[in-house]
Structure 1
Amino acid sequence: MDTSRRRFLQQTVTLAGAAAVAGCSRFTSGPAAQSASSLSKLRVLSIGVIGTIGGHDRKSIAAHPQAEIVGLCDVDANALAESAKDHPSAFTCADYREAFATHADKFDAVIVATPDHSHCTIMTAALAANKHVYGQKPLVQQLEELDLLERAAKAKPHLVTQTGAQRIEHAARRAAVDILKSGGLGKVVEVHVTYGGGALGGGFYFADGKLGDPVQPPAGFDYNLWLCGNAEEPCRPQMVQRQWRSWFNYGGGQIADWVVHTTDVLFYAFPELQSPTQVCTRTPSRDLRYFHADKVLSTLTYPVNSDKFAGSTCNFYFYDSGMMPERANIGLGEGKWPSGICTIVVCEGGTLVLAPEGPLEVWREGKMIDGMTWPGLPKYESFNHWHAWVDKALGKDTPHLWMPFTIGLRCTEPGLLAVKAAKFPGQVLNWDRRRLEFTNHAEANKTLVRRAYRKGFEPVRM
């Protein structure tokens, strides 16, 4: 890095940090501080412009007639150049801190579609700077970050947040919410969630679990910025750009990657489900220094004080790597699963089975009916998940902002607990969300709850 650029970035860190601590007063006099109803167009900065979902997020939001992508930020110079073809007037930068320090008056809202380990740092910076935030899932990568991002969102109630949980667009998911809320299947007994693949499946999104020797980062890729708050370590094969999901320090494997898509209907239907108090993960994997575990079976216990549940606790069972529960044990007759990824809610009066985009099955006494024929369901209108966020940020009333960060964080928590508890396979860990502490396991507290952030890349604490 040349001396002038290093000096600029040091100044950028100082300015951004001072602004955050001071409530970002240097950013609040421009359009970003205006009330939502006074905005005629939402000016959006896209951080993580292509990646695995960033390009789709950016293009979907840009398609709204009252949204404009005015800024592009990415550590990959090639991705930045490619996305700039779609938005030739947008400013560009590699460092998110530069965007907030020198361009904050040009945008009102931010898309954060970066690797998981950088989510909390960037999202809290955006909220501190008074920007609406569309944040990709999982919202955070560390358990402590559940609290950091929650506090940041609560400190800025006038800002509109949305989690990247777009599958609620499908009518089957909304119908599942209505059926569960109605109590028509009786009290909930337990929940099973299957995740299809595993963290070490290889291919486009995941690594294969084989640790390669250090390599040079891809050409045009700023690896130092990609590390964000993580400790410095060498770049390796199957690490940056897409397959970071498999790495313990950067992603959350298949479970944390999909958990908002699979548990959303539970948290929409049952606000009494807050935080689990126990987690126990079983896996044959033992060396988790670099990669997440494979063949994970995790049990999470939620306390419930509600007549909608059969007991005082409700267990969630998570399965990855193609594992599935025994159909007969959960009230299902013979048949094929609608998908390798399913949300299965076992109730006293029947079992609900939901694939990510449907179909929705309801089973009673070994026989299945199409859940969309459930009596009394409304006609579900079509809507655009991304546009609902834009509309709300512009001050328009919409019923379709389904997953603000308050709900998104509740969906994220069980996924993080399940994959992190794999470091202590077969051990029951007692979790206290308020204290951010495993009350029965000192080593788990030391290794699973938080990270030490590199100077200049810390989340904003509000």
Structure 2
Amino acid sequence: MKNKNSVVSSSRRSFLKSTALVATGVMIVPRYVLGGPGYLAPSDRLIVAGIGVGGKGEGDLTSFAQSGKADIGFLCDVDERRAAASRARFPKAKFYKDYREMLDKEGKNFDAVSVSTPDHNHAVQTMAAMEMGKHVYVQKPLTHDIFEARALTKAARDYKVVTQMGNQGASGDGVRIMQEWFNADLIGKVHTVYCWTDRPVWPQGIPWPKESVPVPEGLDWDLWLGTAPKKNYIEGLVPFNWRGWWDYGTGALGDMGCHLVEAPHKVLNLDYPKDVQCSVGSVYVGEFQRGYFPESCPPSSHVIMTFPGNERTEGDLTMHWMDGGIKPKRPEELGPNETFGDGGNGVLFIGTKGKMMCGTYGANPRLLPTSRTEEVNITPQLERVPGGAEGHYAQWVEGAIAGYGKKDLSSPFEIAGPLTETLLIANLAIRGQDIRKEIQNDQGRTSYQYPGRDIKLLWDAKEMRVTNFEEANQFVKRNYREGWSL
């Protein structure tokens, strides 16, 4: 069997000799000319294809190009309107609407793929690229489902490709500073963590609109749906509001959890949670009646996860996740006018000897009271990523050029997969709130029970299943629309 990385090297050589990128005036000398197969020349560059190139996708591609070691060779987006800015920024790049067509026709001509599409299509697009031996950078959260996260994590090892999730705070100095504070025993062993966000800033906790509207011009709605069930287009779904619908998004947890939970996950070396429970904000329709909208994420939630204890924790660790503007009680050590977290979002570690907090991306870490931050002088022990959080992109580019296993990355799938699973396990508890059973009384009147609202879900990480509430397991691995598969 031919080695996947050999295929990639051959593809690069063919592309560099035959396509328009060479004509831009940048002379790229193929590695085989200089030193034979596997030779890494200082001038070697990564050729990247983007899937989902509007908005954040454009920003990602621009950051790869700004590394000075990557060329954007191909663009793919189902929405021509959203793709316009990237097409203008990278005029030499060839454009496609269907990623499957791009991979099939151009797979020989690029080394790596950047995926920045809605959550529900991450896994199929990423897996297709990895099966071709392509290195991949995938926006957070890594996947929509727990099963997908486990599958991509395994595939990255099997195909020996360089991977990175787009939670750039993992490359920032903040999380490394907090690791060093913890290692210096400044806060002792941790027993409780709070993570909170002001998200959602899109509609949630609402019914799926009865009225459909015309699909915007330039949007291929069927391709956008991809793995999701066939439905009519609704007002404002694209480009942003899909995040609040379970068919496509993963709610506030999926959007911000990778930026907030990442710090305690890494500092405390956490495993998968062993149980999860939650409460969610209610939406009322009619007189004192809670709305039942299982298609939509709730307007707010408070999730409590229990992680098995380890050498960094004081017994089992309790992690609180709060969204929709809910925040934990301010620490007594924090001054009345001092900002808690970064205002809208934050993380608080509570240890046996002290506390520390940070904002989004692990930024602006502080010991509590904050005056203690200036008093402590810890010699840096952990290597920093050049450029910090913004260096997250160049780190992946350089890792991909070097090849699998040659460079350490901040959020490869072996880290990003379990982190994403943790967030999706929390979402099981949230989604379980809206599982209902119909009850008929003796008079023939219908009422409903919600068996998932007042229980703690017990999680078997090895088997990837809830052991005490079978109905929740339907969300571990969803059914794809016919014609789509992982």
Shared fold by TM > 0.5? yes
Q: 2:11 aligns with which of 18, 22, 31?
A: 31
For residue 255 of structure 1, the aligned residue among 250, 253, 256 is: 253
Distance in 2, matches of 1:154 and 1:324, equals 38
Aligned to 1:419: 427
Contact 1:64 1:387 in 2 (8 A): yes
Letter in 2 for 1:449: V
Which stretches in structure 2 are left out of the alignment for 5+ residues? 14-36, 283-290, 434-452
Aligned pairs for 1:89-100 within 5 A: 89-100=92-103
Asked if 1 retains the 8 angstrom alpha-carbon contact of 2:74 and 2:95, the reply is yes
What's the counterpart of residue 85 of structure 2? 82
User: CA separation in 2, counterparts of 1:147 and 1:172?
Assistant: 28
Asked whether the 8 Å contact 1:132–1:161 carries over to 2, the reply is: yes
Residue equivalent to 2:398:
391
CA distance in 2, matches of 1:294, 1:207: 5
1:36 and 1:416, CA in 2 relative to 1: closer, same or farther beyond 3 A? farther
> Secondary structure of 2:54's match?
coil
SS at match of 1:352: strand
Q: Which residue in the other structure is 1:275 paired with?
A: 272
Question: What is the alpha-carbon distance in structure 1 between the residues aligned to residue 97 and residue 171 of structure 2?
Answer: 33
Are the counterparts in 2 of residues 139 and 409 from structure 1 also a CA contact under 8 Å? yes
When the two structures are aligned, how many residues end up with a matched partner? 424
Cα distance in 1 between the residues matched to 2:386 and 2:4: 38
**3-state SS, counterpart of residue 326 of structure 2:** coil
With 343-352 and 402-411 compared, the bigger mean Cα shift is at 402-411
State the partner residue of 2:347. 343
2:119 to 116, 127, 139: 116
| Cα gap change, 1:307 to 1:82, in 2 (>3 Å) | closer
Deviation of 1:377 after TM superposition, in Å, equals 3.5
Using the TM superposition, give the Cα deviation of residue 75 of structure 1 relative to its aligned residue in structure 2, in angstroms: 0.2
Query: Is contact 1:331-1:346 (8 Å) kept?
Result: no
Q: Is there any run of 5+ residues in structure 1 with no aligned partner, and where?
A: 1-18
Confirm or deny that 1:232 pairs with 2:237: no
2:482 maps to: 455
Distance in 1, matches of 2:39 and 2:247, equals: 37
**Structure 1 residue 343, shift from structure 2 partner:** 1.0
Say yes or no: does 1:49 pair with 2:40.
no
* Corresponding letter in the other structure for 2:302: L
The alpha-carbon distance between structure 1 residues 395 and 356, as it changes in their structure 2 partners (threshold 3 A), is same
Aligned equivalents of 2:333 and 2:279: distance in 1?
24
For residue 216 of structure 1, report the CA deviation from its aligned partner.
1.8
Query: What's 1:64 paired with?
Result: 67
Report the 3-state secondary structure (helix = DSSP H, G, I; strand = E; otherwise coil) of the residue aligned with 1:150.
helix
Match of 2:366 among 353, 361, 368: 361
Give 1:238-317 correspondences, 5 Å limit.
238-271=236-269, 273-285=270-282, 287-304=292-309, 306-311=310-315, 313-317=316-320
Distance 1:32 1:161 in 2: 19
Larger CA deviation: 110-119 vs 286-295: 286-295
Tell me the equivalent position of 1:11: none
Distance 1:373 1:400, change over 3 A: farther
Residue 369 of structure 1, CA deviation: 2.6
Secondary structure, counterpart of 1:394 in structure 2: helix
- In structure 2, C-alpha distance between the alignment counterparts of 1:116 and 1:36, rounded to whole Å: 37
1: CA distance between counterparts of 2:218 and 2:417? 34
Identity fraction in percent: 28
CA RMSD across the alignment: 2.7
Deviation at 1:239, TM superposition (A): 1.6
SS of equivalent to 1:92: strand
**1:5 equivalent in structure 2:** none
Change (3 A) 1:284 1:208: closer
Q: What CA distance in whole angstroms lies between the structure 1 residues aligned with 2:3 and 2:119?
A: 25
Distance change >3 Å, CA 208–CA 277, structure 1 → 2? closer
Provide closer, same or farther for how the CA distance between residues 183 and 128 of structure 1 changes in structure 2, counting only shifts above 3 A.
farther
Within 1, Cα distance between the matches of 2:351 and 2:396? Answer: 33
Q: Aligned-pair distance for 1:436?
A: 1.4
Aligned-partner residue type, residue 292 of structure 2: D
Cα distance change of structure 1 residues 35 and 24 upon mapping to structure 2, 3 Å threshold:
closer
SS in 2 for 1:103: helix
Provide the residue aligned with 1:6 in structure 2.
Answer: none
**1:434 Cα offset (Å):** 1.7
In structure 1, C-alpha distance between the alignment counterparts of 2:303 and 2:297, rounded to whole Å: 14
Q: How far is the alpha carbon of 1:180 from its aligned partner? A: 2.3
| DSSP-derived class of the 2:306 partner | strand
Pick the aligned partner of 1:404 from 406, 409, 412: 412
Give, in whole Å, the separation in 1 of the partners of 2:341 and 2:54. Answer: 31
User: Could you say if the C-alpha distance between residues 223 and 35 of structure 1 is closer, same or farther in structure 2, counting changes exceeding 3 Å?
Assistant: farther
Structure 1 stretch 315-324 or stretch 236-245: which is displaced more?
236-245
Choose 332-341 or 293-302, whichever is displaced more.
332-341
Question: Quick one: structure 1 residues 373 and 108, their matched pair in 2 at CA, closer, same or farther if it must change by over 3 Å?
Answer: farther
Q: Which amino acid aligns with 1:44?
A: V
